[in-house]
Structure 1
Amino acid sequence: MKKFIGFLLFLVFLSSSLIASNLRIEINELVKTTQKYKIIDVRNNQNYSTSHIKGSINFPASLTYHNLSINGKITEPNKMQSIIQSLGIDINDNIVIYDDGTFFDASRVFWALEVYGFKNVKLLNGGFDSWKQLNYETSHEQPKINKSNYIATIDNQKLATKFTTQIATRNNSQIIIDARDYKSYIGQESAARRFGHIPNAINISAYENLKRVDNISKLKSFDELTQIYKNLKRDKKIVIYCSVGKIASTNYFALRELGFNVANYDASWKEWGNDFNLPVVNLSKKD
Structure 2
Amino acid sequence: MTFLHDPLVSPQWLADHIADPKLRVIDASYKMPAARPPTAHDDYLARHLPGAAFYDVDAVADPDNPLPHMVPQPEQFARYVGALGVGNDSLVVVYDAGNYLGAPRAWWTFKLYGFENVRVLEGGLKAWLAAGHAVENGEVATPAQDFAPRFDAARLRKIDQVIANLDSEAEQVVDARSRERFEGAVAEPWPGRRPGRIPGSRNVPFTDLLNADATMKSPDELRAVFAAAGVDLEKPIVSSCGSGVTAAVITLALKRLGVDRTALYDGSWAEWGLPDGPPVATGPA
User: Same fold by TM-score, threshold 0.5 exceeded?
Assistant: yes
Q: Report the residue type matching 1:56 in the other structure.
A: A
Deviation sequence 1:67-114 (CA, Å, 0-9, x none) = 697334223333222111211201232111111100121111111111
Q: Secondary structure at the match of 2:181?
A: helix
Is the alpha carbon distance of 1:142 and 1:270 closer, same or farther for their aligned partners in structure 2, counting shifts above 3 Å?
closer
Aligned residues: 263
Q: How far 1:263 sits from its partner (Å)? A: 1.0
Q: Secondary structure at the match of 2:51?
A: coil
Please state if 1:271 is matched with 2:271: yes
Measure the CA separation in 1 of the matches of 2:48 and 2:225: 33
Q: Report the residue type matching 1:42 in the other structure.
A: A
Percent of residue pairs identical: 24
Q: Which residue matches 1:245?
A: 244
Q: Which residue matches 2:9?
A: 25
Measure the CA separation in 1 of the matches of 2:125 and 2:160: 37
Q: How far 1:283 sits from its partner (Å)? A: 2.5
Measure the CA separation in 2 of the matches of 1:72 and 1:46: 19
Q: Report the residue type matching 2:209 in the other structure.
A: N
Q: Which residue matches 2:176?
A: 179
From 34, 38, 43, the equivalent of 2:24 is: 38
The within-5 A match list for 1:160-171 is 160-171=157-168
Deviation sequence 1:156-179 (CA, Å, 0-9, x none) = 111111012122222343111111
Q: Report the residue type matching 1:168 in the other structure.
A: N
Is the alpha carbon distance of 1:210 and 1:65 closer, same or farther for their aligned partners in structure 2, counting shifts above 3 Å?
farther
Q: Report the residue type matching 1:38 in the other structure.
A: R
Measure the CA separation in 1 of the matches of 2:156 and 2:254: 14
From 27, 30, 51, the equivalent of 2:47 is: 51
From 218, 222, 234, the equivalent of 1:221 is: 218
Q: Which residue matches 1:158?
A: 155
- Work out whether residues 183 and 283 of structure 2, in 8 Å CA contact, stay in contact via their aligned partners in 1: yes
Tell which deviates more after alignment, 246-255 or 30-39: 30-39
In structure 2, the gaps of 5 or more residues are 30-39
* Runs of 4+ displaced beyond 6 Å: none
Please state if 1:199 is matched with 2:199: yes
Measure the CA separation in 1 of the matches of 2:96 and 2:277: 37
Q: Which residue matches 1:130?
A: 127
Q: Report the residue type matching 2:58 in the other structure.
A: S
Q: How far 1:142 sits from its partner (Å)? A: 4.5
Measure the CA separation in 2 of the matches of 1:122 and 1:186: 33
Q: Which residue matches 2:142?
A: 145
Identify the structure with the greater helix proportion: 1
Measure the CA separation in 2 of the matches of 1:91 and 1:233: 34
Q: When the two structures are superposed, what TM-score results if normalisation uses the length of structure 2?
A: 0.84
Measure the CA separation in 2 of the matches of 1:121 and 1:65: 19
Q: Which residue matches 1:259?
A: 258
Deviation sequence 1:186-223 (CA, Å, 0-9, x none) = 1122334322111110111111111112xxx2211222
Tell which deviates more after alignment, 42-51 or 202-211: 42-51
- Work out whether residues 106 and 123 of structure 1, in 8 Å CA contact, stay in contact via their aligned partners in 2: yes
- Work out whether residues 72 and 268 of structure 1, in 8 Å CA contact, stay in contact via their aligned partners in 2: no
Q: Which residue matches 1:71?
A: 68
Please state if 1:101 is matched with 2:98: yes
Identify the structure with the greater strand proportion: 1
Q: How far 1:30 sits from its partner (Å)? A: 1.3
Is the alpha carbon distance of 1:113 and 1:204 closer, same or farther for their aligned partners in structure 2, counting shifts above 3 Å?
same
Q: Which has the larger radius of gyration?
A: 1
Q: Secondary structure at the match of 1:176?
A: strand
Measure the CA separation in 2 of the matches of 1:135 and 1:283: 45
Is the alpha carbon distance of 1:271 and 1:81 closer, same or farther for their aligned partners in structure 2, counting shifts above 3 Å?
same
Q: When the two structures are superposed, what TM-score results if normalisation uses the length of structure 1?
A: 0.84
Measure the CA separation in 2 of the matches of 1:223 and 1:234: 13
Q: How far 1:153 sits from its partner (Å)? A: 3.0
